[in-house]
Amino acid sequence: MKTTAQYWNVLAANRAGQWEEIEGSQGQLEQLTLAIDNSTGDYTRLTRFKAGANSEAFGAKSHSYPEEIYIISGRLYDAAFDMWLEAGHYASRPPGEVHGPFKCEQECLVLEVSYPSQAIE
């Protein structure tokens, strides 16, 4: 079962120290895990792309498991789809779907729900 928590404002200034830099992003990308199932690896997290972020160094990505994403705020360009994603855009990605690299002009906040327990080998 995923970890649980009572209501808390994840964007409050006093929570700033809980965000982690995504390794290799040179401070352009941060993540905050909201819930995780330590047995299955399934997780819910926020990813923050800082203004001007560009993930070309990571290249396009795909996962062996499904994931859902929802753009909370800002705009994010997905090169794999040649498309700007804006607040309100949602996707339910099947295993193996290629996405990214990403870039943004202004800060962008993305909710991500991933299901490694449903990986297809």
List, as one string, the DSSP characters of the chain. Answer: ---------TTSGGGGGG-EEPTTSTTSEEEEEEEE-TTT--EEEEEEEPTT-B-TTT--B--SS-EEEEEEESEEEETTTTEEEETT-EEEEPTT--B--EE-SS-EEEEEEE-GGG---
Q: Mean pLDDT across the stretch 100-121?
A: 96
Per-residue pLDDT tens digits for 82-93: 999 999 999 999
Summarize pLDDT for 2-35 with one digit per residue, the tens.
999 999 999 888 888 899 999 999 999 999 999 9
Q: What is the pLDDT of residues 31-79, one digit of tens each?
A: 999 999 999 999 999 999 999 999 998 899 999 999 999 999 999 999 9
